[in-house]
Amino acid sequence: MRNETKGILAIVAAATFWGLSGIYFKALVHVPPLEILSHRAIWSAVFFGAVLALQGRAGEIRAALAQPRTWAILGTSASLIALNWLGFIHAIQTNRALEAGLGYYMFPLVAVAFGYLFFAERFSRRQATAIGLMAGAVVVLTLGLGQPPMIGLLLAVTFGLYGLIKKRLAIGPVLSVFIETLLLAPPAVIWLWGSTSLGWPDIGGRAPLGFGEDALTAVLLLGSGPLTATPLVLFSYAAKRLAYATVGLVQYLNPTLQVAVAALVFGE
């Protein structure tokens, strides 16, 4: 199988994971957003650490972490993806899943723009026509929303920048995403400790739920690690093998599924 075909299969799988993930996080609507974000980071790091340990790749982790440039690059990408996760969780919890879907309709346009500006990707007349139709559709959807799509813009820009960084990265997808979640894990642990022990309020002043108070909630929070990790690896794999504009175009599957879930499952 050609690298390009593998990349397309990977981005389709990632988009499907993300498109349906709102159903999963809707089941955690009773848990404050920063608490969910913290668990996503911690259990993703645990999941990736286990995968790399089973593969006998501990030496690669040490080699990557020995480079200050890697710390700087992955620290930036980790911050971007954490902000993206938080925006999505907040959208689901405040019944703004449609706006989140709009954000991911915007993302392919961001990806196309970044491909043009940073990778000198050029488009045929047919591709340019398709991009123009995409832009027009996003304008129509934005006007139909009836309010400034702030969450949508946040999701589109943070994920666009995240993908831009990952395309330029030399190390593999599993290793890079593990280091990102590893960098996020310490502040996540500190936040969980402070919120439960010192009463730090979450977004909107919500009190922490506390891990383990409910068996189903505990299982869902643990499962957020693999759910988060799997599509990120698939996306990173695809970003290194496809033109960035192609990554963006295939990603339209994600918001289409998100909007379908918002309308048909959540009743927005």
Angle separating helix axes 68-93 and 173-197, nearest 10 degrees:
60
Tell the residue number behind the tokens 């409910």, with chain if given. Answer: 214
Residue 185 tokens read as: 């894990």
User: How many domains are contained in the chain?
Assistant: 1
Can you give the pLDDT at residue 91?
94
Can you give the pLDDT at residue 266?
93
Can you give the pLDDT at residue 164?
86
CB neighbours of residue 263 within 10 Å: 13
Can you give the pLDDT at residue 210?
63
Q: Which of 80, 87, 238 is nearest to 159 (CA)?
A: 80
Task: List average pLDDT for each run of 10 residues in the chain, which is 268 residues long.
Answer: 86 93 93 92 91 82 82 92 94 92 86 82 84 86 82 91 84 85 94 83 69 81 89 84 81 89 92
DSSP 8-state assignment for residue 208: P
- Host domain of residue 22: 3-265
Can you give the pLDDT at residue 209?
65
Per the CB < 8 A criterion, the answer to whether 152 and 262 are in contact is no
Can you give the pLDDT at residue 207?
64
Can you give the pLDDT at residue 119?
76
Can you give the pLDDT at residue 154?
94
Can you give the pLDDT at residue 211?
66
